[in-house]
Amino acid sequence: MSSVHDWAAPNPVTTNRSGLIGKPVDRYEGPLKVTGTAPYAYEVQPPSPPAYGVMVGATIAAGRIADVDIAAAEASPGVLAVWTHRNVPSQPPRGAKAHPRSTAGSSPALENDRVSYFGQPVAFVVADTLENAVAASMLVNLTYEADAPDVDFAASLDAAGQPPGEQDVEIGNFEDGFAASGVKLDETWTTPIQNHCQMEPCASIAWWEGDVCVAHTSIQMVKPAQHGLAETLGIDRDAVHLMTRYIGGGFGGKGQTYDDLTLAALAARALKQPVKVAFTRQQMMHGTIHRPATVQRVRLGADKDGRLNAFSLMTWTHCHRSGSFTEHASNFARALYAAPNRLTGHRLVRLDLPHAGPMRAPGEASGTLSLECAMDELAEQLGLDPVDLRIRNEPPVDPENGRPFSQRQLVRCLREGAQLFGWERRTAKPGQVRDGRWLVGMGMAAAIRGNFLLPAKCSFSVDAEGVITVRQGMTDIGTGTYTVLAQIAAETLGVPLGKVVVEIGDSELPPAPGSGGQFGAATAGSAALAAGMNLRKALAELATGDPRSPLYGDDPELVTFQDGVIAIENKSETLAALVARAAPEGLTVEGDSRPAADMREWSTQTYGGHFCEVGVDPVTGEVRVRRMLGVFAAGRILNAKTAKSQLTGGMIWGIASALHEGNAVDPRHGSLLAQDLAQYLVTVQADVGELDAIMLDEVDDKANPMGIKGVGELGNSGAGAAVANAIYNACGVRVRDYPITPDKLLAGLIAKGL
């Protein structure tokens, strides 16, 4: 791909002749989804009638399986197989790689008699119907030798150590700088476990075509799933054809495979028929990853004019006993505010809990809940407006590494957000504004999320009808990937959207990293642009080299593409006519993208400002979000509708993090207390008042060829802190233990005599 300095050269996307890029185009796959005809993994129709698998979860959090009795289950009607660790087909050891370049190793199911978390799959039943499989699963009798589970995060903080390979990051001398500061803040916040709760549970169907395993599964990254399944099955990677074409939400929880895929493939091979396996909603809570709880200590030291002199955010978090995943809730803070003396780092506790892992805006979603409230508290101590305090500490370059910012419009986000929201009407002193029985307050917070670009490939084809087909091993987890790829293709080749076909979510297509980390649109889109430009070049050369074309003999650099027509000045022909005549079998080209060599010379982030107004009932402790606004700067926006949906969805998740969402651990059993959507509370429509997201104009030409960044996680960064700050402004009560539920708020209100 061209170097970063060539990206600014005019191309169909930068000139945007058709005006498709950025428009609020309806979803490419929308009609299929709203009519119920988009086949999600569990709904894919196999070549022959499937059997149904049901997993059985452990009822202890630590120990071993001492005895197994599956006789009754095996004798149950319709049962085809009952497996435990004693009779499951052989699988390579965990992490083993027969192919050293596999992006994932073996992940054996039912691998031994050890139990390391509550709900761990320990048995598997396959039957002719789902009902028979469920009935038989209840007859599996396992006897355990249980150990006392170590699941108390708060009690284990003293045992925490630094995550593997990590060191604290200190610049200057934090302790001396903090001691010398005229105004200080030293407070601790806690955030709970959160579960992903995607609408579609993790599910898989698999069958075999000769020696090839065909599998449909719900996962965000195609290649690691293909490679990992091949390693687990002990077959060549090319002998696994894995597809994930429609996904009902991911949020990071489908960034890896689970036992549903492994067991479906193993059972299909053993039984010689297709097998479907899906997690129940209850199994999802323990059997898939979750966002871990955190304890965060924030220390801020400032001069009396509000300039930060010392800045520290230290995070304690937890993971599974055998894991190392760390909720990096301190990392984002390293690029947010200026201060000469800085200290950030993480501590990790390993517990007998299910595996922790990434969840929408991992790090930022948790970390901003402390830092952005701490900045609000510091502003009050200083007698400054919270917006003004943040602007006073705006760094000219990245405060940690000194790199220039590729684009940084945080101050603009804050100023324009304040103006649009009516921030000037905020009363600084808490508890001064009433609306009937409600105490009303406003709060704000800054948002930041890093920007990433990963290697990817994409192919474009054109046929004799002038139809452009985009093929890429990318995924769409509901974020709009299908749509933005169609927009890029239509813009690049100058054809109507109706002339574009998008094929993604297939391991046999050109590889892309998948959806996650807010890198999806930029990575997939950059590769698509490269493929489109290559196809333009091929078509221009085809036309100017064809004696039968009106463009014959002209300079291919002068060829334009618009409305399905290729032209040079007043000479033209349709794209379909050219291909049908000169390349009747069609043309296919490939493009790729990768981070530019000088990308590390820049600090590249996305930014935003959240503003919120809440009402607090001083009698019940109820909080209602009355209105909320986010203003964001996130590079070139590919689709105004899908981008806004992502941002507002993240903001709503922030409301949930502030007010509702969290899961507690039962210390007796090591299980999560909330095990379905009736118990696990999330924000619903009635909880959200007026809500809007505004995207500033921005094209970050240092980020990638199209100047794209990401929005999927930015909206969730800082949103919860804005709600918490509004609650304080309404009633004068600070709750630093999330979520801010009525009981916690009432305790503070009673203590204040309200």
d(CA 425, CA 508): 57
d(CA 361, CA 376): 22
Instruction: Pick the catalytic residue from 377, 491, 613, 713.
Output: 713
Q: Is 573 one of the catalytic residues?
A: no
What φ, ψ does residue 99 adopt, rounded to 5°? -110, 115
What is the predicted pLDDT for the residue at 4?
35
**695 found inside a domain:** yes
Select from 544, 563, 594 the last residue of a domain: 594
505 shares its domain with 432: no
Select from 562, 594, 626 the last residue of a domain: 594
Q: How many CA atoms lie within 13 A of 704 on its CB side?
A: 31
Select from 594, 621, 639 the last residue of a domain: 594
* Nearest by Cα to 168 from 355, 2, 326: 326
> Residues with Cβ < 8 Å from 298, sequence gap 6 or more?
185, 186, 187, 188, 189, 312, 313, 370, 371, 374
What is the predicted pLDDT for the residue at 743?
97
Distance set, CA 70 to CA 74, 127, 137, 511 (Å): 6, 14, 9, 43
What is the predicted pLDDT for the residue at 9?
59
Distance set, CA 540 to CA 14, 272, 566, 583, 668 (Å): 19, 51, 8, 13, 70
Q: How many CA atoms lie within 13 A of 555 on its CB side?
A: 3
Q: Tell me which amino acid residue 612 is.
A: C
513 shares its domain with 640: no
Q: How many domains does the chain have?
A: 2
**477 found inside a domain:** yes
In the predicted model, residues of the chain with pLDDT beneath 50 are: 1-8
581 shares its domain with 605: no
**273 found inside a domain:** no
Structure-block tokens of residue 464: 């004799």
Q: Tell me which amino acid residue 385 is.
A: D
Residue whose tokens read 């796959």: 29
585 shares its domain with 618: no
**338 found inside a domain:** no
**446 found inside a domain:** yes
- In our burial notation (b when 16+ CB lie closer than 10 A, e otherwise), range 689-705 reads eebbbbbbebbbbbbbb
What is the predicted pLDDT for the residue at 3?
35
Residues forming a β-bridge with 448: 607
d(CA 721, CA 367): 10
What is the predicted pLDDT for the residue at 16?
73
441 shares its domain with 506: no
CATH of the domain at 698: 3.30.365.10
502 shares its domain with 610: no
**185 found inside a domain:** no
Dump pLDDT digits (tens) for 227-269: 999 999 999 999 999 999 999 999 999 999 999 999 999 999 9
- Which H or E run contains 452? none
610 shares its domain with 746: yes
Structure-block tokens of residue 127: 């039957």
Structure-block tokens of residue 429: 């002193």
**253 found inside a domain:** no
618 shares its domain with 585: no
608 shares its domain with 746: yes
604 shares its domain with 568: no
Residue 631: domain span: 362-452+600-751
**287 found inside a domain:** no
What is the predicted pLDDT for the residue at 705?
87
